[in-house]
């Protein structure tokens, strides 16, 4: 099926107000443009350099999301370039984001990435380390948290639901608390192979790559 046909199918399954992010890593400008022509404005990239290579090819209506691990030495390159950093996972990274955005008199909008499956191969903060990060966020002037993001282990629909339900529970707890710099607007859960489970557990932001663009060709770039 075509890119537009795939987007139509995914959109038909989205609840009202849920956001579809087209994951455009390894995708060509032409492929992204086809999604833009359909009406998609939210695009996710995993690597800073690839994101920067694409930003200038499109107008300011695009909302770029950094969804991959962000190294502290790369933060300076994305200031003013991204709509949402979805991978805040440490106090060290928080401090670098705060420093770089303060230097440019800008505010960074971020999501906290939680490693809910406790996989060593994945980034994200463990649940028990959240309080320290939340306390540090409250001391910031140039970072605003607007929700949570997670990437879960591969599994069955039922197994996926367990992880997504647990993440939603954390999101709900934080949503009820009163913070200065933290709100729980977005719950970024679900990718091509598990987004239906994520939506069933309350996700309001899904990140779809192959489900929109087809199988990746890592030789494109």
Q: Where are the domains of the chain?
A: 3-213
With CA atoms as reference, report the closest residue to 136 among 79, 80, 97, 87. Answer: 97
Residue 215: per-residue pLDDT: 87
pLDDT above 70 for 220: no
Whole-model pTM above 0.85?
yes
pLDDT digits (tens, 9 = 90+) for 39-48: 999 999 999 9
Q: What is the pLDDT of residues 105-158, one digit of tens each?
A: 999 999 999 999 999 999 999 999 999 999 999 999 999 999 999 999 999 999
Q: What is the pLDDT of residues 6-30, one digit of tens each?
A: 999 999 999 999 999 999 999 999 9
CATH topology of domain 3-213: TIM Barrel (3.20.20)
**How many angstroms from the chain centroid is the CA of residue 219?**
24
Encode 148-185: b = buried (16+ Cβ within 10 Å), e = exposed.
bbbbbeeeeeeebbbbbebbbebbeebeeeeeebbebe
Q: What percent of the chain has pLDDT over 90?
A: 96
Tell me what pLDDT residue 218 has. Answer: 57
């Amino acid at each position: 099926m075509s890119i537009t046909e795939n987007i139509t199918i995914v959109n038909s399954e989205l609840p009202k107000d849920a956001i579809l992010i087209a994951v455009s890593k390894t995708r060509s400008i032409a492929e992204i443009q086809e999604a833009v022509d359909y009406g998609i404005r939210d695009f996710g990239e995993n690597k800073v350099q690839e994101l920067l290579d694409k930003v200038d090819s499109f107008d300011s209506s695009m909302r770029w999301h950094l969804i991959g691990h962000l190294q502290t030495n790369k933060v300076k390159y994305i200031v003013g370039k991204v709509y949402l950093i979805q991978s805040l996972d440490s106090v060290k990274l928080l401090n670098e984001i705060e420093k770089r955005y303060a230097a440019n008199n800008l505010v960074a909008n971020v999501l906290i990435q939680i490693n809910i499956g406790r996989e060593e191969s994945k980034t994200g903060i463990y649940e028990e380390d959240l309080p320290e990060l939340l306390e540090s966020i409250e001391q910031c002037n140039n970072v605003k948290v607007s929700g949570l993001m997670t990437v879960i282990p591969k599994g069955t629909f039922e197994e996926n639901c367990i992880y997504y339900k647990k993440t939603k529970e954390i999101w709900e707890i934080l949503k009820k608390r009163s913070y200065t710099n933290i709100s729980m607007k977005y719950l970024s859960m679900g990718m091509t192979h598990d987004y239906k489970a994520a939506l069933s557990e309350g996700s309001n932001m899904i990140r779809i790559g192959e489900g929109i663009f087809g199988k990746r060709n890592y030789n494109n770039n």
